[in-house]
Each structure stands twice: as structure tokens, then as C-alpha cells.
């Protein structure tokens, strides 16, 4: 695997792992309680902000995955 492709795949893997960690942390009760205490006006919009941010993050990762030219591991048409 060429070095550039390896680094792109590594960056994508890091992006997905960071997303999974961020998603799990923000879905826990602690951050929601913190937002309710420290940002009471924004607390009702927590779910909306969480879903918008998650969707945007996944959209960026999917777009980056689409740009990375990886070798085809399996071609159903051949």
C-alpha cells in the first residue's frame, strides 16, 4: 500500500474512532446534566444540536471515504 493511501486510511480510521468516542461521551447522562446546569437556555436543544453535529461529522467522513481511492477488494461484476 502506498504511503499516501496508508495515511489517508489512517486518518479516516482516526476520524471514525474519534466520532465513536465523541458520540458515546455526549450520549451519556453526565454531559446532558452539565448542559442543563451550566447552559439552561440551550439544554432543551441538546438533542437537536447533538443530532445535527453527528450528522455533519458522518457526512464529512463519508465524503472523505468517497475521495480515498482504495483498491477494490471484491468486484461482484467480474
pLDDT tens-digit readout, 14-69: 999 999 999 999 889 998 899 889 988 988 888 898 899 999 999 999 999 888 87
Q: pLDDT at residue 75 above 80? A: no
**Span 5-21, average pLDDT:** 92
What CA–CA distance (Å, rounded) separates 63 from 58?
A: 8
Whether pTM > 0.85 for this model: the answer is: no
Alpha helix ranges (H) inside 1-78? 3-27, 29-38, 46-67
Can you tell me the distance from the alpha carbon of 11 to that of 71, in angstroms, rounded to the nearest whole number?
Answer: 17
pLDDT for 78: 64
Amino acid at each position: 500500500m502506498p504511503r499516501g493511501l496508508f495515511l489517508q486510511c489512517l486518518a479516516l480510521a482516526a476520524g471514525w474512532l474519534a466520532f465513536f468516542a465523541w458520540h458515546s461521551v455526549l450520549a451519556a447522562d453526565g454531559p446532558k446534566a452539565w448542559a442543563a446546569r451550566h447552559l439552561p437556555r440551550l439544554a432543551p436543544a441538546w438533542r437537536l444540536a447533538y443530532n445535527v453535529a453527528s450528522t455533519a461529522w458522518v457526512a464529512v467522513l463519508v465524503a472523505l471515504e468517497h475521495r480515498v481511492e482504495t483498491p477494490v477488494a471484491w468486484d461482484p461484476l467480474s
